[in-house]
Structure 1
Amino acid sequence: MRRPATITAGTLLLLLRVLAGILLIVGLWLEWPDVMDSADLVLGDDVLTAQEEQFALWIVIALMGVSLVVQLSVVLSLWWGRNWARLTVMVFAVVSISTAFTTWFLREEEITLRTSLLAVGLDVLILLALSSRSAAAYSRRRERRRSR
């Protein structure tokens, strides 16, 4: 079975999300002193030292990097037509959209390009692509062979 355009589109949209994550890491790294100043973090009674702030930066970057590696593995699994990857991506897209809606509804946080509009738009497009019949059939093609 040939890979449908919906799987290709979903994979490309997920790659855009990964690239956005990389840009977020770079932006965080460049703006870290401002982030730490605005956070006003206190450790006990002491203000964090420069070394502690740097350590916190590396922890955050490491966690985000691990997240990006996991996302890339899911992207590859989706490209190869794994149904679990398609379902996982769709669940996370629904959670992301629901989170944006909840913060808008409860906290009256506006949805703009600077906040979550781009992520919500990508998640909606991902859901549309991966919930199509062709994407589902392509992802389930191995399951049908095993059941015969």
Structure 2
Amino acid sequence: MGERPRKRAAIEPAATLFDREAEPAPQDRRPVSVSGGAALVVARALGTALWSVGLLRQWGSIRADLDLEPDESGVALGVLLGFQGFWMLLLLALAWLIWRGGNGARILVMIGATASITASAIAYFAAGEEITVHTTLLTLALDILILLALSSRDARAWTRRRRA
């Protein structure tokens, strides 16, 4: 069997992150981290669909809380569901690009996951918003797992090689 890649030390200097010679040799086969990352992005898209279903179920009470007229309510719901549908399709497209070895898609998804995690943290600490299974726990957990999978050395080396 081949040589196992060296695990990253907790006290590794930041300069080694940019050293291409320190990267493991790119594999011909897709690393598990890339496959898992793409699967997690698909799961994140499915989480968006579940969130939309939850929105539909709660729309009556949301509409009452916001005191929306029936015309305004339909427009607002359409805009929200349209955005969610676009977001879900974008996530599925990015998952496909990651699966195929797209480094740009990998980086874009990691930036999006970081922004989502940061927004959840700000909402929790500044606004006192609860993180529950019914609100953001599922998407937050998936974003963290996506970051862990797609930021691995194997994923970075394989996607960089695929574009080189």
Q: Which residue of 1 aligns with 2:140?
A: 120
Q: Which residue of 2 aligns with 1:30?
A: 57
Change (3 A) 1:120 1:55: closer
- Where 1:94 maps in the other structure, the secondary structure is helix
* Offset of residue 79 of structure 1: 0.8
TM-score by length of 1: 0.83
Cα shift readout 1:89-118 (whole Å, capped 9, x = no counterpart): 111111111111112221233323233222
Question: Aligned partner of 2:160: which letter?
Answer: R
Residue 11 of structure 1 pairs with residue 38 of structure 2:
yes
TM-score by length of 2: 0.76
- Where 1:31 maps in the other structure, the secondary structure is helix
Question: Aligned partner of 1:104: which letter?
Answer: Y
| Aligned mates of 1:53, 1:115 — CA distance in 2 | 21
Question: Aligned partner of 2:138: which letter?
Answer: L
* Offset of residue 78 of structure 1: 0.8
Aligned residue pairs, count: 137
Residue 131 of structure 1 pairs with residue 158 of structure 2:
no
* Offset of residue 27 of structure 1: 2.4
- Where 2:55 maps in the other structure, the secondary structure is helix
Question: Aligned partner of 2:95: which letter?
Answer: V
| Aligned mates of 1:14, 1:68 — CA distance in 2 | 10
Between stretches 135-144 and 78-87, larger displacement belongs to: 135-144
Between stretches 102-111 and 122-131, larger displacement belongs to: 102-111
Q: Which residue of 1 aligns with 2:127?
A: 107
| Aligned mates of 2:141, 2:150 — CA distance in 1 | 14
Question: Percent same amino acid at aligned positions?
Answer: 39
Change (3 A) 1:55 1:105: closer
| Aligned mates of 1:7, 1:84 — CA distance in 2 | 13
